[in-house]
């Protein structure tokens, strides 16, 4: 049966067909849909882990026990999971182990443009990269076979344009698999020095064997057109662009960016007029070829930044102008009408605080007019950076940390333990909207539901904070701007570590919330409410106008209006 | 081969429109690829979905100057992606204006002459009040299906097949509503 499906769904389907029994993941664009799709199949286990490190450890445990297992994450998630990755390369597997990592060239929804292929090389783990949905499904199954045949974890790398594209996919049946037998084998699975020294030898032997093997793999293939034409080495979505932009070119399609099939490409190079490498981000394949004495042109023509496209490739070879976008006002993403984060950032701005931020919808607090988020590094970093900021300013820095509930559980809690232990006296505001918002509303350990939507035990944020040793804990309603301001003032005035949990479910989720829109009477046009950056509020000729279709009645603007011109309907 | 761009503001229902067109391609036995962006930009930002159908499709993304048609759910978003349109391409614009945050705060101005410019620049440009037609059909939420009815007529897609695609992409209880919206869009564009 053929269906038009999202590549991430095709990956889930591939895992299902390959007999995967255990999948663990943490949400991250553009990888989130894999776990959400996989959990819908019968006879499988899938979960949201609190972070990618745990997700990979879960998959490693399942693999050692004998099941086929998968962990899924976005590219920066692999940084978190890098610790288990590098040593799982030493232990090898029992049941097949595949790690799906979604890179984001162009940073559609990410904080950097790191290239996962380099992790493969660094960790000595094979990397497969599909070009489209059908290949993604096929490559997942192939990755599991490689994992078991070569006793290695395998990374399946995809990029945003592959992950979030739909393609026509042929669906097959699941192959049920018994767990491979498990036997104690401490030399293989206990990585202390004496054993790891032996395993490092095994890693090198395996890598050499696989580096030979890739030259004969069907997913690495030459497509010849004419020996008088150029040859292009490419993979992933770039292969699709090249086929479109340079139909006359000979193409070498790479399915295993690590290890690069050097011998096969060397043969290909001899049969074409001139060799080019076209790849997004790092010159990974290019440098490998050049290091092996294969002359090629690559980043001389293309940037290491952003995405490539059919138009960019055509321009590089044939010149000409790419039609440019007209200059029109930008439409950046904004916090939704009724977003419970808005009032908190309004208070930060009003109090002139330096805000050490984190990863989530609330990163949008950096954007005008709220303009109240001043650092954002990675998941969980708000707490550690606030601590360092305080230490560097001898405790005088007017800074606070802000983090979401899901991100706090991901990796913020360790930063909080550090702040208590090392006594920086920071203030941490946890924006508890009871969901993982930015990635599209996933459950986490404090929501009371699991990936399947079933009722699950709840990690209580307030109890967790207290257990970290925090004495000054306040819980406020995020919509109560006065209470938020009072809490922040009190917390920042003392010298101890203070935590404020600002509670309110995400406005997109809380269907009970939709109260009547607020109304405006006798607006003085002072513009105070405009500082909230609410998309439901705009300026009309005689003062501000509330878009009743968007307004959810959170009444944050009503609290901010100094003349009480904004009121509840019928008030 | 057909290259289509669907542009709008996060939350406007561009995804369903692309699902219907994808289904249409499958019903016609064509290859099809769709590329969309999830995540951050969906929070009220600009969103563009690329859809290509034909005998064999490689790139999931349409290139600048390569779109046969653009379906724009908002006027400013039409101007933002206009450079993707072929010289003889069709540009169907829903007349709706949604202010982006820089225009709300006063940092930028929503261009007043935007409609006239689009009509002058693209000879295949056509404006329609799809939201109003959708209201008449029974629900504002069918604005996207009204637009599909319009593009179906303008481009000359097979109407019966497109109706089948619409029906297969919406829940049972909304089938009649969406068919009505589709047909009103087809008639009134």
| Distance of alpha carbon B27 from alpha carbon A407, whole angstroms | 43
Find the mean pLDDT for residues A126-131: 98
| Distance of alpha carbon A160 from alpha carbon A242, whole angstroms | 17
Find the mean pLDDT for residues A307-332: 96
Residue A513 Cα distances to A243, A480, A516, A530, A554, angstroms: 50, 14, 9, 22, 8
Q: H/E element holding A502?
A: strand A498-503
A472 touches chain B (CB under 8 A): no
Superfamily of domain B2-188: Pyruvate-ferredoxin oxidoreductase, PFOR, domain III (3.40.920.10)
Angle of the B14-27 helix axis to the B143-155 helix axis, nearest 10: 40
B106: nearest CA in chain A?
A539
B56 touches chain A (CB under 8 A): no
Residue B58 Cα distances to A71, A98, A407, B34, B67, angstroms: 29, 26, 38, 11, 15
Q: Tell me the chain B residues in contact with residue A134 when contact means C-beta distances shorter than 8 Å.
A: none
Predicted pLDDT of residue B40: 63
Pick the CATH number of A342-503 from 3.90.209.20, 3.40.1280.10, 3.40.50.970, 2.170.150.70: 3.40.50.970
> What stretch(es) of chain A map to CATH 3.30.70.20?
519-567
Q: Is the Cβ–Cβ distance between A113 and A107 less than 8 Å?
A: yes
| Distance of alpha carbon A484 from alpha carbon A265, whole angstroms | 62
Q: Is the Cβ–Cβ distance between A133 and A5 less than 8 Å?
A: yes
Q: How many CB atoms within 10 Å of residue B154?
A: 18
* pLDDT per 10-residue tile (average), chain B, 189 residues: 94 88 96 85 84 98 97 96 96 94 90 95 95 95 96 97 97 96 96
- Give the per-residue SS3 of chain B: CEEEEEEEECCCCHHHHHHHHHHHHHHCCCEEEEECCCCHHHCCCEEEEEEEEECCCCCCCCCCCCEEEEEECCHHHHHHHHHHEEEEEEEEEECCCCCCHHHHHCCCCCCCCHHHHHHHHCCCEEEECHHHHHHHHCCHHHHHHHHHHHHHHHHCCCHHHHHHHHHHHCCHHHHHHHHHHHHHHHHHC
**Whether the predicted pLDDT of A152 surpasses 70:** yes
Q: State whether B39 and A438 contact (CB < 8 Å).
A: yes
- Dmax (CA) for chain A in angstroms is 81
Q: Does domain A221-318 have CATH number 3.90.660.10?
A: no
B87 touches chain A (CB under 8 A): no
Q: Is the Cβ–Cβ distance between B12 and B76 less than 8 Å?
A: no
Find the mean pLDDT for residues A397-407: 97
A161 touches chain B (CB under 8 A): yes
Q: State whether A334 and B44 contact (CB < 8 Å).
A: yes
B40: nearest CA in chain A?
A109
> What stretch(es) of chain A map to CATH 3.40.50.970?
2-175+190-216, 342-503
Q: How many CB atoms within 10 Å of residue A225?
A: 15
Strand partners, A72: A25, A100
| Distance of alpha carbon A328 from alpha carbon A407, whole angstroms | 35
Q: How far is B156 from chain A (nearest CA, A)?
A: 23
Predicted pLDDT of residue A570: 61
Predicted pLDDT of residue B10: 81
Best B79, B101, B111, B116 residue to mutate vs chain A (most A CBs within 10 Å):
B101
**pTM here?**
0.97
> What stretch(es) of chain A map to CATH 3.40.50.920?
221-318
Minimum-distance CB partner of A241 among B34, B59, B101 = B59
Predicted pLDDT of residue B104: 87
Q: Does domain A2-175+190-216 have CATH number 3.30.465.10?
A: no
DSSP string, A412-440: IHHHHHHHHHTT---EEEEEE-SSBTTTT
User: Which of 259-278 (A) contact B at CB < 8 A?
Assistant: none
**Whether the predicted pLDDT of A311 surpasses 80:** yes
**What are the structure tokens assigned to A313, written together?**
């490739």
Contacts of A171 (CB under 8 A, 6+ apart): A1, A2, A3, A13, A17
The per-residue pLDDT of chain A, averaged, comes to 96
**Whether the predicted pLDDT of A571 surpasses 60:** no
Q: Could you give the percent of chain B with pLDDT greater than 70?
A: 97
Q: CA angle A134-A52-A32, nearest 5°?
A: 40
Q: Are strands A519-520 and A127-128 parallel, antiparallel or unpaired?
A: unpaired
A538 touches chain B (CB under 8 A): yes
Comparing A506 with A1, the larger pLDDT belongs to A506
**What are the structure tokens assigned to A105, written together?**
């060239």
Predicted pLDDT of residue B174: 96
User: Where does the pLDDT of residue A550 fall: very low under 50, low under 70, confident under 90, or very high at 90 and above?
Assistant: confident
- Write the CATH number of the domain with boundaries A519-567: 3.30.70.20
User: Which of 302-341 (A) contact B at CB < 8 A?
Assistant: 309-311, 314, 322-326, 328-336
Q: Tell me the chain A residues in contact with residue B135 when contact means C-beta distances shorter than 8 Å.
A: none
| Distance of alpha carbon A404 from alpha carbon A415, whole angstroms | 14
Find the mean pLDDT for residues A324-345: 94
User: Where does the pLDDT of residue A227 fall: very low under 50, low under 70, confident under 90, or very high at 90 and above?
Assistant: confident
Q: Tell me the chain A residues in contact with residue B60 when contact means C-beta distances shorter than 8 Å.
A: 132, 161-162, 165-167, 237, 240
Domain boundaries, chain B: 2-188
- ipTM of the complex in this document: 0.95
Q: How far is A36 from chain B (nearest CA, A)?
A: 14
Predicted pLDDT of residue A517: 84
Q: How many CB atoms within 10 Å of residue B138?
A: 15
**Whether the predicted pLDDT of A487 surpasses 70:** yes
How does DSSP classify residue A130?
Answer: -
Q: How far is A168 from chain B (nearest CA, A)?
A: 7
* Lowest-pLDDT choice from A280-289, A491-500, B102-111: B102-111
Q: How far is A263 from chain B (nearest CA, A)?
A: 27
Q: Is the Cβ–Cβ distance between A283 and A276 less than 8 Å?
A: no
């Amino acid at each position: 049966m053929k269906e038009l499906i999202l590549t991430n769904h095709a990956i889930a389907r591939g895992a299902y067909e390959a007999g995967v029994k255990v999948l663990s993941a943490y949400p991250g664009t553009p990888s989130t849909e894999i776990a959400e799709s996989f959990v819908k199949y019968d006879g499988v286990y899938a979960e949201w882990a609190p972070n990618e490190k745990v997700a990979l450890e879960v998959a490693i445990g399942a693999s050692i026990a004998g099941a086929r297992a998968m962990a899924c994450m976005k590219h920066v998630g692999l940084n978190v999971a890098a610790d288990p990755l590098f040593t799982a390369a030493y232990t090898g597997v029992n049941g097949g182990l595949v790690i799906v990592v979604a890179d984001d060239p162009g940073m559609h929804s990410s904080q950097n443009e790191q290239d996962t292929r380099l992790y493969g090389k660094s960790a000595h783990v094979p990397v497969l990269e599909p070009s489209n949905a059908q290949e993604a499904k096929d490559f997942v199954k192939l990755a599991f076979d490689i994992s078991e045949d070569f006793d290695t974890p395998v990374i399946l790398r995809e990029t945003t344009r592959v992950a979030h594209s739909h393609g026509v996919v042929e669906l097959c049946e699941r192959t049920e698999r018994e767990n491979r037998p498990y036997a104690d084998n401490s030399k293989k699975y206990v990585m202390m020095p004496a054993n790891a020294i032996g395993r490092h030898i095994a890693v090198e032997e395996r890598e050499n064997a696989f580096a030979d093997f890739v030259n004969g793999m069907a997913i690495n293939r030459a497509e010849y057109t004419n020996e008088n034409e150029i040859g292009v080495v490419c993979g992933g979505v770039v292969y699709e662009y090249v086929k479109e932009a340079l139909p006359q070119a000979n193409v070498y399609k790479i399915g295993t960016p690590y290890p690069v099939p050097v011998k096969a490409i060397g043969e290909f190079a001899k049969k074409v007029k001139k060799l080019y490498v076209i790849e997004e981000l790092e010159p990974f394949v290019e440098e490998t070829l050049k290091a092996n004495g294969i002359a090629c042109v690559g980043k001389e023509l293309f940037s290491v930044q952003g995405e490539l496209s059919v138009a960019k490739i055509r321009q590089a070879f044939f010149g000409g102008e790419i039609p440019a976008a007209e200059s029109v006002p930008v439409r950046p993403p904004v916090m939704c009408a009724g977003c419970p984060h808005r009032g908190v950032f309004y208070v930060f701005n009003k109090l002139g605080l330096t805000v050490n931020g984190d990863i989530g919808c609330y990163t949008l607090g950096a954007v005008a007019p709220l303009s109240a988020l001043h650092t954002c590094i990675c998941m969980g970093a708000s707490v550690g950076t606030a601590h360092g900021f305080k230490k560097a300013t001898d405790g005088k820095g007017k800074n606070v940390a802000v983090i979401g509930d899901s991100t706090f559980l991901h990796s913020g809690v360790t930063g909080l333990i550090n702040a208590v232990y090392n006594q920086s006296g920071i203030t941490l505001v946890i924006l508890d909207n009871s969901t993982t918002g930015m990635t599209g509303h996933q459950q986490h350990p404090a929501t009371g539901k699991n990936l399947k939507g079933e009722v699950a035990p709840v990690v209580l944020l307030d109890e967790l904070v207290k257990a970290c040793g925090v004495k000054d804990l306040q819980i406020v309603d995020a919509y109560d701007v006065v209470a938020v301001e009072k809490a922040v003032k009190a917390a920042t005035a003392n010298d101890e570590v203070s935590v404020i949990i600002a509670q309110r479910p995400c406005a997109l989720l809380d269907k009970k919330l939709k109260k009547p829109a607020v109304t405006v009477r006798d607006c003085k046009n002072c513009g105070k409410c405009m500082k909230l950056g609410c998309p439901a509020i705009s300026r009309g000729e005689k003062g501000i106008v509330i878009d009743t279709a968007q307004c959810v009645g959170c009444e944050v603007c009503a609290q901010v209006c100094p003349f009480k011109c904004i009121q509840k309907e019928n008030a | 081969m057909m290259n289509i761009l669907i542009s709008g503001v996060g939350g406007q229902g561009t995804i369903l429109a692309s699902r219907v067109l994808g289904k249409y391609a499958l019903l016609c036995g064509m290859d099809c690829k769709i590329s969309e962006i999830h995540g951050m930009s969906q929070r009220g930002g600009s969103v563009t979905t690329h859809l290509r159908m034909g005998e064999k499709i490689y790139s999931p993304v349409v290139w600048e100057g390569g779109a046969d048609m653009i379906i724009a759910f908002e006027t400013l978003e039409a101007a933002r992606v206009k450079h993707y349109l072929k010289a003889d391409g069709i540009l169907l614009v829903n007349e709706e204006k949604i202010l982006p945050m820089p225009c709300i705060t006063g940092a930028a101005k929503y261009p007043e002459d935007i409609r006239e410019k689009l009509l002058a620049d693209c000879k295949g440009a056509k404006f329609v009040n799809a939201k109003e037609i959708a209201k008449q059909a029974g629900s504002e939420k069918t604005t996207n299906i009204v637009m599909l009815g319009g593009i179906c007529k303008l481009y000359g897609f097979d109407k019966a097949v497109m109706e089948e695609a619409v029906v297969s992409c919406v829940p049972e209880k909304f089938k009649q509503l969406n068919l009505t919206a589709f047909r009103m869009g087809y008639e009134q564009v």
